[in-house]
Structure 1
Amino acid sequence: MARTGLYKSEVEKARNTLIAQGRHPSVDAVRIVLGNTGSKTTIHKYLKELEEEGGGNSRSKAPVSEALQNLVAQLATQLEAEADNRIAEMAAQCNERDRLHAVEIAELKASNAQTKEKLDLTIAAIKQEIASHEQTREALQTESMAHHTLAQQVIDLRERLAENEIHRQSLEEKHQHARDALEHYRASVKEQRDQDIRRHEQQVQQLQAEQRQLQQSLINKQNEITRLNQDGARWVAEIAQAQKTIYEEQTNFRKLNSQVEALRVIEQRARLLEPQLNEKDVLIEELKTRLTDFSSRDSEHQQHLRQIELDLNAAKAKIEAQEMMMVELKNLLRERMKPEDEEPHAGK
């Protein structure tokens, strides 16, 4: 790529350098010395002007003048100083990069340690929550089974109570029938007595016999009524005991309802804990991903450090090559200068 702002003095220096090396100062050779910059047309124009100024003797071998020697020495000194400055600058940059990378690696290691510590604490908390959740779930299952058993017992007691109620109603119906029969019998006896009184006295003995029979029947009936009353009292006591049992079962049922409500609260809490457990699982996965990213970044930084070391070694090798070139250039200049020193002696 052509460089703008090319000066004639630069072309002249490149031309003199080529002449000092014993090379023909062509346009391409001058452009190579200039670092492959500058327009070939401009370089050709400047070379033509320099040839016209030198009277066409540019191709002749001229001795190296003192100014050219000073110029070469200055160039060598300047090149050495620039190389030293470049080496110092690259070394400072490498040291600063090494320091920054070391600080960054230390920060990453500290962050990685903190992340691992947080991850361990989170895993321990999750394990504790899982154990608590399992205990709560087992307690809930136990209470559910107990509630189911008690509910079945309540259903059985209700069925027994219904059977007792049906039996009590049957007994009451029997008592009512017995009372109705007794009343009917009493009415019949009274009517029979009235009829017997109005009848003839001849029938008194018959009536007395019949009365005795009726009294015997009445005694039997009263005994039956007494037995029925005793049965009724016994059934009333059994009903009272059944009602007491039902009351106790209702009390137990209310207690069970309270326990069931408590278990429902525990179950709701367990349901609320499940999203937290899921969130903690997601957090653990994110922490694992971040840990993997940190590890990959650490590997990338280490690769970058190795690349910097390679660049530094390449730069050192390049500087050593430049130093060797400078030594060779100085040796070449010394060899060029020897014929000049010998020419005056030959003239004498």
Structure 2
Amino acid sequence: MARGGVNKAVVQIARNALLARGLHPSIDAVRVELGNTGSKSTIQRYLKELGEAEAPTPEMPLDEELTRYIASLVVRVQQRAEEALAADRAAFDRKQLAARQQREVEAAHLEHLQLAHATLGQARQAGLVHEQTLTSQLQACEVESQRLQEAHEQQLRLLEDRAGQIVSLEDKHRLTQEALDHYREQHLLQREQEVQRHDQQLQQLQREARTNRDQLLSKQEELSQLYRDLERMSGEQLRQHQETRRLEQALQSAQEQVQAADLEHQSDLRQMHAIAHKLTTLREKTKQQLLKQRQTQRELRSQTQQITQLQTLVERLTQSAPTGPD
């Protein structure tokens, strides 16, 4: 049985072509003319049938012979055209497959970039939450600092009251000493006891004032630590913003490569434009959030300066407060 594509008409065309070139239509020559296809037994059988058909045939008219030759040429040209068309179709399929694979690679790369962008967005959101927590702690410290400052002022007022009492007692003692000379030693002893007692109270108040001042310094150190934490978070968010910009640039480059690789798929191109628009919106939102964060940092710096000024004022009041009679 002959293989697909090898029949009597094809063998006849190859035989006529060899005869036209002045060559003997042997089995091997015909098989080479057919492109090394078909079995030799099949070609031999067809050549035998063609030879037997042509042997007893009387000489045919020239028109009929030309018609048959032209028909054989038409069949041969049609076969060559079909082979060329099949080769072109196979090449086109290979190109289309390569383009489809390239598009899938670019789509996977785009998906990876989008996932990285989403991860950075989550990290930035966590940073904002941590910043809000630090802000709450700073506010609590400010309230505690205000309470300590009020307690310190109350201690200063108490010291002033004690000093006034000491002055009043000294005046009374002086008047009593002038009026009662015979009780001088007793009143002197009483005065010394009262002075000692008030000195002890004054020392106690001074110790409490130092304790409050140490607590105020501790709170100030905590505020400084919170400020350093805020600065560190700002640096981290700046690095995250720079990484986001780098990923956006890489995403834009990937979009240009996808557009260059697949100009014929307009639907995919519209989706890429939609993704680029979303990324632009996300970039604008990120800029707005960074501006808000910088504004918050400026406000925190201003509040820290105010706290420092208040602490300086408290220290000055503490240094200028009376320490009692000598």
What TM-score comes out, normalization by structure 1 length?
A: 0.49
CA distance in 1, matches of 2:75, 2:211: 109
> Is 1:151 aligned with 2:128?
no
Q: By how many angstroms is 1:202 displaced?
A: 4.1
> Is 1:229 aligned with 2:210?
no
Q: Indicate the residue corresponding to 2:231 in structure 1.
A: 254
Match of 1:238 among 197, 206, 215: 215
CA distance in 2, matches of 1:287, 1:94: 39
Q: By how many angstroms is 1:156 displaced?
A: 2.5
Q: Indicate the residue corresponding to 2:91 in structure 1.
A: 110
Q: Secondary structure in 2 aligned to 1:138?
A: helix
> Is 1:168 aligned with 2:148?
yes
Please list the CA deviations of residues 105-147 of structure 1 after superposition, one character each: whole Å capped at 9, or x if unmatched: 31231132122123223313422441343244234314422x1
Structure whose alpha-carbon radius of gyration is higher: 1
> Is 1:195 aligned with 2:172?
no
Q: Which runs of 4+ in 1 moved over 4 A?
A: 268-272, 274-289
- For 1:173, the aligned partner's letter is E
Q: Higher relative contact order by CA 8 Å / sep ≥ 6: 1 or 2?
A: 1
When residues 90 and 259 of structure 1 are mapped into structure 2, their CA distance, relative to the original with a 3 A threshold, is: farther
CA distance in 1, matches of 2:226, 2:263: 52
Q: Secondary structure in 1 aligned to 2:210?
A: helix
Please list the CA deviations of residues 32-88 of structure 1 after superposition, one character each: whole Å capped at 9, or x if unmatched: xxxxxxxxxxxxxxxxxxxxxxxxxxxxxxxxxxxxxxxxxxxxx9x9433433443
When residues 123 and 187 of structure 1 are mapped into structure 2, their CA distance, relative to the original with a 3 A threshold, is: same
CA distance in 1, matches of 2:109, 2:167: 86
CA distance in 1, matches of 2:162, 2:223: 35
**1:328-339 maps to which residues of 2 (within 5 A)?**
none
CA distance in 1, matches of 2:201, 2:62: 142
Q: By how many angstroms is 1:162 displaced?
A: 0.9
When residues 153 and 232 of structure 1 are mapped into structure 2, their CA distance, relative to the original with a 3 A threshold, is: farther
Between the two proteins, the alignment pairs up a number of residues equal to: 208
> Is 1:81 aligned with 2:58?
no
Identity score, percent: 7
Which structure 1 segments of 5+ residues have no match?
1-76, 290-348
CA distance in 2, matches of 1:80, 1:224: 149
CA distance in 2, matches of 1:149, 1:108: 60
Q: By how many angstroms is 1:185 displaced?
A: 2.4
Q: CA RMSD in A?
A: 3.7
- For 1:98, the aligned partner's letter is Q
Please list the CA deviations of residues 194-236 of structure 1 after superposition, one character each: whole Å capped at 9, or x if unmatched: 3234324145366346525xx33x4443333323322222232
**1:1-348 maps to which residues of 2 (within 5 A)?**
80-145=61-126, 147-204=127-184, 207-208=187-188, 210-211=190-191, 215-216=193-194, 218-269=195-246, 273=251, 280=258, 286=264
Native 8 Å contact 1:154 1:249 kept in 2:
yes
Q: By how many angstroms is 1:154 displaced?
A: 1.0
